[in-house]
């Protein structure tokens, strides 16, 4: 801090009680005053809490206040924490258990993972209330982390107080759940209640492996339940069940005034709606969620393989046939996941299905595979395999250890829960340093006969710059009416409902946490890749001008992010923010109401619109 900042802070400090006066704030607002432009405090600033104040907070939460220290803070010697971090840096369960780390280590020219000063290792809603009140009273930057999977760096911030919900991970099942205050209005239904720190593997193990039912969650097992729900949320089978947020029946949330509120369709319905896709960390701290569960299909399955064309002309024809085949045979609730279009003229199949057996799935794919085999310009670089398994075993760690150990990676630490696995294909993302990332919802109109050619041309031209994938489960066009209705009653961008797929392009490098030995990303190469990623997506968007983007899988540098992430829902979300957090205690860059703040969330620039 320079002398001018110190002087400004010193002069401002005695006035803080006056600035907090509601009457004065009203008068200032009426007069168009700019006095609400203020800074949150950092360590060393006047107003930063002293040891006695931190001690009182620690006492109030039964000793669960932690000073946060990165395991890479002291790697110059023989530091045990540093050695363990290096050994476990590709283990997402280890990263999740470290309050100082996040599942993404940074993004070139955007952000780096840097820890908070203190963390409240919350075990209940009362701990969260204490943290929220302390941050509000002392003008602290507040951060919330459960799974820590944010690509955008929203679950960490230096000089902040962290609400860390990792230890709030209980899961309980209900045969006949009725939201609070809804008796007589809503029928009882099977459900699962999950605390905010639980991961999807915790929910899947309880709901599917143990109880034989289905809950719509995310595809990556280590993603936090609360974060996914608040961003909208898609899993492999969302084309049948809708968005994860559409399955939310009730939530417990601590709002900026320190109140614990139970919200649902009957109590605080606007806040409830906002939590369903309005973005994590903007409206409050969610401490508990209850989600509907569904009957489990008999079988789940997958189709894997790769086909390479021997020329650009043949590749364009392959893309055309694949898109037409999707429209004809796969554009329905049975099918989800991806077709991946690579720069080397390769089409990779990575699809999943539900409600079909292996023979039924093979029959669906037979015409497309026959078309490929009849043409000498194509070769299978990875032979196509169709597999099916009882749906109850889809997240069953012991089943995979016995039958397909190559598909999973276990938490290798001594004493780790046996069900804590991740898909082997997801391990490359662990600790990633992002070079670039873009997404866009593609409207189903592009599949019509009159527009397919333009889509195919755009896909082919996009791959000349960088590869991309179409995630069909993240576009809800083609879903059943009930799934669409549930998903429509959320704060997500309505464009997701009309999209047949979410197009994603991106790249990443190895973990590059600050202080990590050997972590030296090639920034020039990263920037070059980022430019090609932009060129790829910009080319694709020529066929889908104005397409929105999924907030959890989007460009850090997104222009017009309010419209891109939430579309016509943003004004309603902003109204929810003004009602429940009028002073902007909860800040997430490119989150609801963040336009009123500086990029780092420390300086208020103006009142939220």
How do residues 388-437 score in pLDDT, each as one tens digit?
999 999 999 999 999 999 999 999 999 999 999 999 999 999 999 999 99
**What is the pairing mode between strands 118-121 and 65-67?**
antiparallel
Give the Cα separation of 372 and 310 in Å (integer): 12
DSSP E strands in 86-205: the ranges are 104-107, 111-112, 118-121, 142-145, 161-164, 171-177, 189-195
* pLDDT at 313 (0 to 100): 98
- Across residues 539-562, what is the average pLDDT? 97
208 versus 15: the higher-pLDDT residue is 208
Residue 541 gets which letter from DSSP?
Answer: G
User: Could you tell me how far CA 77 lies from the centroid of its own chain?
Assistant: 36
Q: Percentage of the chain surpassing pLDDT 90?
A: 92
| DSSP helix/strand/coil, 70 | coil
pLDDT at 13 over 70: no
* pLDDT at 2 (0 to 100): 39
* pLDDT at 609 (0 to 100): 59
* pLDDT at 21 (0 to 100): 35
Give the Cα separation of 412 and 394 in Å (integer): 21
* pLDDT at 348 (0 to 100): 98
* pLDDT at 406 (0 to 100): 96
pLDDT at 15 over 80: no
pLDDT at 567 over 70: yes
pLDDT, tens digit, for every residue of 101-138? 999 999 999 999 999 999 999 999 999 999 999 999 99
pLDDT confidence of 4, banded at 50, 70, 90? very low
* pLDDT at 239 (0 to 100): 98
| DSSP helix/strand/coil, 316 | helix
Are 422 and 92 in contact by the 8 Å Cβ rule? The answer is: yes
CB-CB neighbours of 34 under 10 Å = 11
| DSSP helix/strand/coil, 520 | coil
Give the total residue count for the chain. 609
* pLDDT at 26 (0 to 100): 31
Q: What residues contact residue 252 under an 8 Å CB cut-off, 6+ apart?
A: 125, 260, 261, 262, 263, 286, 287, 288, 289
pTM: 0.93
CB-CB neighbours of 162 under 10 Å = 26
pLDDT, tens digit, for every residue of 31-67? 333 335 489 999 999 999 999 999 999 999 999 999 9
Q: Which helix (H) or strand (E) holds 506?
A: strand 499-509
- Across residues 493-507, what is the average pLDDT? 98
CB-CB neighbours of 208 under 10 Å = 22
pLDDT confidence of 607, banded at 50, 70, 90? confident
pLDDT at 17 over 80: no
- Across residues 251-279, what is the average pLDDT? 98
* pLDDT at 31 (0 to 100): 31
Helix segments in 437-566, DSSP class H: 452-463, 481-488, 495-498, 523-540, 561-566
Give the Cα separation of 508 and 494 in Å (integer): 29
* pLDDT at 310 (0 to 100): 98
Tokens representing 226 are: 């609360």
* pLDDT at 608 (0 to 100): 65
Residue 238 gets which letter from DSSP?
Answer: H
Q: What is the largest CA-CA distance in the chain?
A: 81
pLDDT at 77 over 90: no
Q: How far is CA 446 from CA 454, 484, 492, 498, in A?
A: 8, 19, 21, 11
- Across residues 532-560, what is the average pLDDT? 97
- Across residues 322-338, what is the average pLDDT? 98
pLDDT at 275 over 70: yes
* pLDDT at 7 (0 to 100): 30
The mean predicted confidence, pLDDT, of the chain is 93
* pLDDT at 492 (0 to 100): 98
Q: How far is CA 140 from CA 38, 389, 532, 586, in A?
A: 12, 50, 39, 10
Are 226 and 234 in contact by the 8 Å Cβ rule? The answer is: no
* pLDDT at 241 (0 to 100): 98
* pLDDT at 354 (0 to 100): 98
């Amino acid at each position: 801090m320079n002398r001018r900042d110190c002087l400004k802070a010193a002069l401002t400090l005695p006035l803080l009680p006056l600035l907090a006066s509601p009457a004065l704030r009203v008068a200032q607002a009426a007069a168009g005053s700019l006095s609400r432009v203020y800074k949150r405090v950092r360590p060393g600033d006047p107003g930063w809490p002293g040891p006695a104040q931190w001690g009182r907070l620690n006492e109030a939460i039964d000793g669960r206040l932690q000073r946060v220290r990165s395991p890479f803070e002291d790697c110059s010697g023989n530091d045990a924490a540093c050695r363990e971090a290096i050994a476990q840096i590709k283990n997402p369960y280890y990263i999740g258990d470290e309050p100082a780390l996040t599942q993404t280590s940074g993004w070139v020219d955007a952000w780096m993972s840097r820890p908070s000063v203190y963390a409240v290792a919350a075990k209940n809603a009362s701990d969260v209330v204490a943290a929220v009140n302390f941050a509000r009273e002392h003008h602290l930057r507040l951060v919330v982390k459960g799974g820590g999977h944010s690509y955008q760096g929203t679950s960490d911030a230096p000089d902040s107080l962290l609400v860390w919900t990792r230890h709030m991970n209980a899961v309980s099942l209900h045969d006949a759940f009725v939201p609070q205050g809804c008796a007589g209005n809503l029928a009882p239904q099977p459900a699962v209640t999950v605390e905010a720190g639980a991961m999807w593997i915790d929910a899947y193990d309880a709901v599917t492996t143990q109880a034989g039912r289905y809950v719509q969650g995310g595809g990556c097992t280590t993603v936090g339940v609360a974060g996914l729900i608040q961003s909208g949320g898609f899993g492999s089978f969302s084309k049948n069940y809708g968005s994860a947020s559409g399955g939310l029946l009730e939530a417990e949330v601590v709002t900026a005034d320190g109140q614990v509120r139970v919200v649902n369709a009957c109590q605080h319905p606007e806040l409830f709606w906002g939590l369903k896709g309005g973005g994590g960390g903007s409206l409050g701290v969610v401490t508990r969620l209850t989600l509907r569960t569904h009957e489990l299909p008999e079988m789940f399955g997958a189709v894997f393989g790769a086909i390479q064309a021997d020329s650009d002309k043949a590749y364009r024809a392959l893309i055309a046939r694949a898109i037409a085949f999707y429209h004809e045979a796969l554009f329905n609730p049975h099918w989800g996941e991806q077709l991946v279009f690579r720069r080397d003229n390769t089409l990779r199949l990575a699809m999943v299905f539900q409600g079909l057996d292996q023979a039924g799935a093979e029959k669906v794919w037979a015409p497309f595979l026959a078309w490929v085999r009849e043409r000498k310009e194509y070769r299978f670089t990875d032979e196509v395999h169709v597999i099916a398994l009882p749906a109850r075993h889809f997240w069953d760690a012991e089943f995979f250890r016995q039958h397909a150990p190559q598909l999973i990676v276990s938490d290798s630490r001594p004493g780790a829960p046996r069900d804590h696995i991740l898909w082997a294909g997801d391990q490359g993302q662990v600790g990633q340093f992002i070079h670039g990332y873009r997404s866009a919802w593609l409207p189903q109109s592009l599949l019509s006969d009159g527009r397919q050619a333009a889509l195919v041309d755009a896909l082919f031209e996009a791959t000349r710059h960088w590869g991309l994938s179409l995630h069909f489960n993240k576009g809800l066009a083609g879903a059943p009416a009930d799934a669409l209705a549930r998903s429509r009653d959320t704060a997500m961008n309505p464009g997701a409902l009309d999209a047949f797929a979410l197009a994603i392009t991106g790249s990443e490098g190895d973990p590059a946490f600050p202080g990590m030995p050997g972590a030296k990303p090639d920034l020039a190469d990263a920037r070059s890749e980022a430019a090609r990623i932009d060129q790829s997506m910009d080319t694709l968007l020529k066929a889908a001008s104005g397409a929105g983007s999924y907030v959890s899988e989007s460009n850090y540098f997104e222009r017009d992010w309010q419209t891109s992430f939430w579309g016509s829902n943003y004004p309603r979300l902003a109204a929810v923010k003004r009602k429940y957090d009028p002073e902007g205690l909860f800040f997430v860059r490119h989150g609801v109401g963040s336009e009123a703040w500086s990029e780092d969330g420390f300086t208020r620039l103006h009142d939220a619109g």
